[in-house]
């Protein structure tokens, strides 16, 4: 690919499919001769990170915090996860043909330097927000399992997560494959036990209504779509012969079944009486016999590490896509350490009130990802039939209308519809039954504004070459 930053061919070929090796390069294009792997690997790569307690807690919130009964929560969970998984599949599909991380593809929509805004948001969301969230749940589990104090438990968890993310792409795929059967078996057994104790007739003391239903959709979507900005990070090494839609189906399926199963388990667990005052993991594992509770705690730790290996790696990818001119190995190492330290401190702070912190975090994710998806998908649609690859590493490529549309959509949708503990938008305040539809509104505003701006400025003229054969395979 001409006009791009490319991983050194000798280093890339030497890296190949090695697992115990530091991945060379960073956000560069992966040349065809360095590609390897099979699309089915995306199934467990996107299953294992979601087999963890943070996923369960989303479903628990639907009943315990948002006031839905079990059946309403299940429907809301399926809708939110389906939306997030479908968008993830579409984004993943471009990996084999384009060979670059997701946030590098974002340069098409936002311009080379304008893309620094969503790339930075993504780095903070994955490397700090999600890193802290998953570290907290794994820490609670390790603390309950071993009796080790919470702070030392947190240190152990963070060290394991950073080690995996630092080694890079191949190690992450290998670890997720190793974790997949262990996590799947334990959580399926746990799900069966929970379902046998569930009270389908349970009604929360506060009725959530349509507002609670939309909040649950938003929380489920926020969790699942939170992976969207990392999609091609894990499909870009696949050979160019792999059909994009096949990669997308495997990734979307892995994401959907894992998030949906565990969120439904979480919703079901909220209908089972609990009289203790322990941590969220204590409450969940109290429903099991001792041997199964210990296995579930082990799975929660393993799942948290699985999720954060992905998070810290993709945070580094996003940081690389900001465009700083440094050696990529230095960049990845620096970002891994930086996010690890910040994420550790945030996790330490969140240990005090994990439930409230997590609820607000889930909705905030949806607030910016909705508008981001609106711009990215419209841009991809309007550029169909053109070879966009020369723009990916062109530092002169500007597309400020993407950033303007994104900013207006984020700010406008939050001011109108946000429904947070500390802030309520105008509509949410005066018509609370509407619930929190910020992400839907943000997506729509961004998509419409960007389409108008793109067509008005005739961005199609920027790329005139016919699409390459491999790009066709993504549609």
CA–CA distance, 238 with 261 (Å, rounded to integer): 28
Query: Is 342 a residue whose pLDDT tops 60?
Result: yes
Range of the domain at 340: 35-108+119-353
> pLDDT (tens digit, 9 = 90+) per residue, 293-313?
999 999 999 999 999 999 989
DSSP letter for each residue of 325-382: -S-HHHHHHHHHHHHHHHHHHHHHHHTTSHHHHHHHHHHHHHHHHHHHHHHHHHHHHH
Q: Is residue 72 part of a domain?
A: yes
Inside any domain, residue 132: yes
The pLDDT-based confidence of 360 (bands split at 50, 70, 90) is: low
429 within some domain: no
Number of structural domains the chain divides into? 1
**Residue 409 is assigned to a structural domain of this protein:** no
Retrieve residue 427's tokens.
């509509």
**What is the per-residue pLDDT for 362?**
60
Answer yes or no: is 4 within a domain.
no
Is the pLDDT at 184 greater than 80? The verdict is yes
Residue 467: its pLDDT value, please?
A: 39
**Nearest-angstrom CA–CA distance, 217 and 260:** 12
Residue 307 belongs to a domain: yes
Kindly tell me if the per-residue pLDDT of 377 is higher than 60.
Answer: yes
More confident residue, 14 or 227: 227
Check which CATH number belongs to the domain holding 318 and give it.
Answer: 1.10.4160.10
Q: How far is CA 293 from the centre of its chain?
A: 27
Within a domain: residue 256?
yes
In a domain, 10, yes or no: no
For residue 469, the model assigns a pLDDT of 39
* pLDDT value, residue 7: 53
pTM: 0.89
């Amino acid at each position: 690919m001409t006009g791009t930053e490319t991983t050194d061919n000798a280093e890339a070929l030497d890296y190949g499919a090695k697992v115990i090796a530091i991945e060379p390069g960073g956000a560069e294009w992966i040349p065809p001769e360095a590609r390897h792997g099979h699309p089915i690997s995306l199934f467990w790569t996107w299953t294992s990170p979601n087999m963890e307690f943070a996923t369960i807690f989303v479903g628990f919130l639907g009943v315990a915090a948002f006031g839905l009964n079990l059946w309403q929560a299940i429907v809301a969970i399926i809708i939110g996860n389906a939306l997030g998984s479908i968008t993830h599949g579409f984004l993943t599909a471009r990996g084999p043909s384009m060979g670059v991380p997701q946030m590098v593809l974002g340069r098409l929509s936002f311009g080379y330097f304008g893309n620094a805004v969503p790339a930075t948001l993504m780095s903070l969301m994955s490397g700090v927000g999600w890193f802290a969230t998953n570290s907290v749940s794994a820490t609670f589990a390790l603390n309950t399992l071993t009796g080790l104090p919470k702070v030392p438990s947190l240190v152990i968890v963070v060290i394991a997560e950073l080690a995996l993310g630092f080694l890079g792409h191949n190690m992450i795929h290998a670890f997720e494959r190793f974790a997949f059967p262990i996590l799947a078996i334990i959580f399926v057994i746990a799900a069966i036990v929970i379902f046998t104790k569930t009270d389908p007739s349970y009604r929360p003391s506060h009725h959530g209504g349509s507002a609670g239903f939309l909040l649950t959709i938003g929380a489920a979507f926020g969790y699942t779509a939170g992976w969207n900005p990392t999609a091609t990070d894990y499909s870009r090494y696949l050979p160019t012969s792999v059909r994009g839609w096949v990669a997308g189906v495997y990734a979307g399926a892995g994401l959907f079944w894992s998030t949906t199963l565990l969120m439904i388990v979480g919703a079901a667990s909220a209908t089972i009486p609990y009289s203790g005052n322990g941590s969220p993991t204590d409450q969940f594992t109290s429903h099991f016999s001792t041997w199964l509770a210990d296995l579930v705690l082990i799975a929660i730790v393993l799942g948290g590490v699985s999720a954060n290996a992905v998070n810290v790696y993709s945070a580094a990818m996003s940081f690389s896509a900001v465009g700083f001119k440094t050696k990529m190995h230095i960049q990845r190492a620096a970002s891994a350490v930086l996010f690890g330290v910040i994420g550790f401190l945030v996790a330490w702070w969140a240990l005090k009130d994990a439930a409230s912190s997590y609820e607000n975090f889930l909705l905030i994710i949806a607030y910016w990802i909705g508008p981001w998806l609106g711009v990215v998908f419209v841009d991809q649609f309007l550029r169909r039939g053109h070879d966009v690859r020369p723009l990916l590493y062109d530092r002169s490529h500007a597309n400020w209308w993407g950033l303007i549309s994104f900013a207006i959509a984020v700010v406008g949708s939050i001011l109108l519809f946000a429904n947070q503990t500390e802030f309520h938008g105008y509509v949410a305040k005066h018509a609370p039954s509407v619930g929190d539809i910020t992400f839907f509104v943000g997506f729509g505003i961004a998509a419409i504004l960007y389409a108008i701006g793109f067509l008005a400025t005739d961005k199609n003229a920027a790329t005139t070459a016919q699409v390459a054969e491999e790009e066709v395979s993504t549609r």
